[in-house]
Structure 1
Amino acid sequence: MLDPTARALLDAPLARTAALLDRPGITPDRLTGANLVLGLASAAAAAAQLWLPALVLWLACRLADGLDGPLARRRRAMASPPAPPGDAGAGGFFDITADFVVYGAGVVGVAVGATAGSGASWLPFLAVLLAYYVNGAAFLAFSSIAERAGRRLDDGRSLSFLGGLAEGTETVLVHALWLLFPAYAGPVAWAWAALVGVSAAHRMWAGYRALR
């Protein structure tokens, strides 16, 4: 829901930062790799109840994730001949799979840290993981089938994204909220699971309608 607004605000600053980072030793895939390593480190820190380091690592991993796309698009635009806007190839595959790993690991890390020694239930975090699973299946299936059916939604990203209530911006904010207020991680997880679940149902409906 907030992604269009966030992209409008952040696209230009991220593009300028990507231009500064455009050096031979820095590649989009290496930024994606940094995103993956930082995200897993954040999850490990959360599991160890090192909440502030986990938050810093989480924000750093999201910054790396925000920069790999602009750098890749810059490199494609400067190629001779320029590559098609949606031609992300292996880099796009690496990016989306790294994000799935980071998101899932983040939920598990917070669940471990927030419930350790308290007897609190893992159930809200399992609900979040289930909602992530259904939501991811819906938009990945839509992207694949839309590509084959010639109904690709091209906004410059590597996949055809169906909008929803819960998107990347909301995910960044909720995971940060967990790390800022771990004592309330369970109730936040219930609310987040419900929101992602509604978003998944909407994507299933919207994707079906778009492909008919």
Structure 2
Amino acid sequence: MLDSHVRRLIDKPLTSVASAIDRPWISPDRLTIAGLVLGLASALAAALTLWWLALLLWLASRILDGLDGSLARLRRSREDAGAGGSSEAGGFLDIVSDFVVYGATVFGVAVGASVAFDAPWWPFALVLLTYYVNGSAFLAFSSTAERTGRRIDDGRSLSFLGRIAEGTETIIVHSLWLVVPFLAWQIAVVWGVFVAVSAVQRIVVGYRSLR
């Protein structure tokens, strides 16, 4: 819901940073992998109830997740493929890394909240279920749209069906979990319902778009 607005706000700053770090030994794929490592470290820190460390690692991971695409587009605009420009492999790596980090973070917060605050597990299981349904709808639509020539080109590697729960909302909610972990399971209940509604929207809109 907020992605398009936020992307317009952060596009120039991210491009400026990407220009500043544009070195032969820094590639979009390496930034993606660094973001993945930091995201997994954030999940581990959350599981150990190191909430503020987890928050810093999470935000750093998401910044790198934005920078990898900015650097890829910068190099593509110069047609400098030899310097590690945008590629199908890079887009694949990016989306897989996002899914791994999102799932790991939910699991890490669930472990930490259950240990520190005796939080129930089912709200986090609900979030993982809705993530699974969303991911299935998103990837199935992207694959079918690509094959049938109905690709949605918004600058991202895959055709993305934007709905009320997108990347920006996910970053905000995961951050809230780490800022107020004693309310993590209650936030997870609300977020799970929110993402479930988004999943239904994606399924309906995706089906209608492909008919």
Give the letter for the 2:78 counterpart.
Answer: M
Are 2:75 and 2:81, in contact at CA under 8 Å, matched by a contact in 1? no
CA contact (8 A) 2:49 2:116 kept: no
DSSP-derived class of the 1:46 partner: helix
Unaligned segments of structure 1, at least 5 residues? none
1:121 and 2:112 aligned: no
Partner Cα separation in structure 1 for residue 81 and residue 157 of structure 2: 19
Quote the residue 2:198 is aligned against: 199
Does 1:18 pair with 2:22?
Answer: no
Residue 118 of structure 1: CA displacement? Answer: 4.2
1:116-169 alpha-carbon deviations (Å, 9 max, x no partner): 154331000000000000000001100000000100000110000011010000
> What percent identity do the matched residue pairs reach?
62
1:64 corresponds to 2:52? no
C-alpha separation between the residues in 2 aligned to 1:18 and 1:55? Answer: 23
Aligned partner of 2:131 in structure 1 is: 132
- Quick one: distance in 2 between partners of 1:95 and 1:188? 27
Task: Give the Cα–Cα distance (whole angstroms) in 2 for the partners of residues 207 and 111 of structure 1.
Answer: 31
Distance 2:75 2:27 in 1: 9
CA 1:117 to 1:71, structure 2 compared with 1: closer, same or farther past 3 Å?
closer
Alignment of 1:41-80 (within 5 A): 41-79=41-79
CA distance in 1, matches of 2:5, 2:76: 25
Q: CA deviation at 1:81?
A: 8.4
Aligned pairs (5 A) from 1:149-168 = 149-168=148-167
Contact 2:117 2:182 in 1 (8 A): no
Question: Alpha carbon RMSD of aligned pairs, Å?
Answer: 1.5
Quick one: distance in 1 between partners of 2:59 and 2:43? 12
* Structure 1 residues 157 and 117: alpha-carbon distance in aligned structure 2, compared to 1, 3 A threshold: closer
1:68-91 residue CA offsets vs partner (Å, 9 max, x unmatched): 001011111212689xx9x63100
Q: Could you tell me which residue of structure 2 aligns to residue 93 of structure 1?
A: 92
SS in 2 for 1:116: helix
One-letter amino acid of the structure 1 residue matched with residue 129 of structure 2: L
- 2:188 corresponds to: 189
Q: Residue 39 of structure 1 aligns with which residue?
A: 39
Distance in 2 (CA, whole Å) between partners of 1:61 and 1:69 is 13
Q: Name the aligned partner's letter for residue 115 of structure 1.
A: S
Distance 2:46 2:81 in 1: 45
Write the distance in 1 (CA, Å) between the matches of 2:168 and 2:15: 18
Distance 1:195 1:165 in 2: 8
Deviation (angstroms), 1:61: 0.2
Q: Which amino acid aligns with 2:58?
A: W
TM-score, length of structure 1 as denominator length: 0.95
Amino acid at match of 1:5: H
What is the distance in 2 between the residues matched to 1:118 and 1:209? 44
Structure 2 unaligned residues grouped into runs of 5+? none
Relative to structure 1, the CA distance from residue 206 to residue 172 in structure 2 (aligned partners, 3 Å threshold; closer, same or farther) is same
